[in-house]
Every structure is written in structure tokens, then in C-alpha cells.
Amino acid sequence: MDNDIQEVLFDQQQIQEAADRLGQTITKDYAGQKPLVLSVLKGAYLWTADVIRKIDLYVDLEFIKISSYHGGVSSSNEIALVTDVQSDVKGRDVLILEDIVDTGQSLQFLEDLLLSRGAHSVRVATLLDKKEGRKVDIKADYVGFDVRNEFVVGYGLDYKGLYRNLPYVGILKQSIYS
Ligand code: PRP
Ligand code: MN
Ligand code: MG
């Protein structure tokens, strides 16, 4: 797998530091609250495990599975809700955990869904923020790292379902997908 990577952007240690930094900020910002941490599958599974252990608060953990890329390199405009949450979000302070915000369409879809169900507040903590990729006007509240407009994989992020288990985030060689 390493041979398919053009450049390592963020290694395990850098990602741990980002999780630590965000976890501390989130702990302060949500002091006295019991947020509902909402992990967006599949991409956010590793990042969720890291960040949640750095949040020193009572939290609930929920998962939702949506799909926009359908395994490819570009976001489709069709977001599919694959597996829904299993608890009521009404009145809850929801903290979405994402691996990457790119076009922003997945995040927009989730925010709309949660607010329509009566969530009290919705914020997002993302490992990566690809601001150049935005198609909708939406901002991430907590960002691990900004990334350039390149196709990145690893640490949860996939190409055709693969590379999620790389212990770092790296740029996929163009020869792999073109
Ligand atoms: C990817 C990524 C984010 C979303 C970001 O998920 O994990 O959830 O797309 O892209 P956007 O800002 O352009 O909407 P994907 O649809 O690939 O599903 P996956 O997490 O199961 O890989
Ligand atoms: Mn995803
Ligand atoms: Mg994907």
C-alpha cells in the first residue's frame, strides 16, 4: 500500500496531537453539557476513536452512515443515508465527527437532517478541511488540518474502499486512479 502513496501528509503522531488539541477545546466549549458525538461512517471511525478519548465530558456516541463518493475520487451530488442513528437527537447538542470536509455537501446534508429533527446545536470536528473543494457555503467548527486540493487517503479515508487502514494520511498517486 505504501507504494501507492506519493507523499505522507500527516503521520500518526501529528494526528494524535490534533486529536488532543481539539479534544481539549471541545471539553472547554461543551463544559456542563452532555454532547451527542455523531461519528460519520465509514471514514470517521479512526478519528472518532482518537478524539472521543480526549474529550473529558459525559458524552453519548452515535453512528450514522452516509455515502457521497461511492468509492470514487469525486463527490456525487446524491448523498445516500445508508444507516441512520438509533437515538432521538431532539434537543441534543450534536458534535459531528468527520474525516474530511470537501465539497461540504455531506456536512450540509447532516446539518439539515439534524436540525430538522430538532437538534439544539450542531457543530463539526473534522480531521481534514479541504477548503478549496467547497461547493456549498459551510464551515467546520474544529479542524485538525487544512489540506490542499489533492486526493488523500488513509486513516479512514478510502479510494474504492481501500487504504482506510493506512496509519497516516497521504496523497494517492495519480496513476492509481487515472
Ligand atoms: C467522504 C468523507 C466525508 C465526505 C466529504 O465520505 O468521508 O464523509 O465524503 O465529502 P464532501 O464534503 O464532498 O461531501 P464518502 O462518501 O466517501 O463515504 P465513506 O466515509 O464511507 O468513505
Ligand atoms: Mn465519509
Ligand atoms: Mg469514501
Q: What is the dihedral of CA 15, 74, 86, 35, to 10 degrees?
A: 40
Is the pLDDT at 73 greater than 80, yes or no? no
Distance (Å, whole) CA 78 – CA 21: 33
Q: Going by CA atoms, what residue is nearest to atom 7 of ligand 1? A: 43
Query: How far is the C-alpha of 170 from the C-alpha of 4, rounded, in Å?
Result: 9
Query: Which among 102, 137, 146, 158 is annotated as catalytic?
Result: 102
Residue in the structure block whose three cell numbers are 465539497? 103
Whether 76 shows a pLDDT value over 90: the answer reads no
Other C-beta atoms closer than 10 Å to the C-beta of 146 total: 11
pLDDT in tens, 107-161: 999 999 999 999 999 999 999 999 999 999 999 999 999 999 999 999 999 999 9
Pairing of strands 80-83, 60-67: antiparallel
What backbone phi and psi angles, to 5 degrees, belong to 105? -70, -35
Site to substitute for ligand 1 among 68, 134, 165, most atoms within 8 A of C-beta: 68
Domains of the chain as residue ranges with CATH:
2-177 (3.40.50.2020)
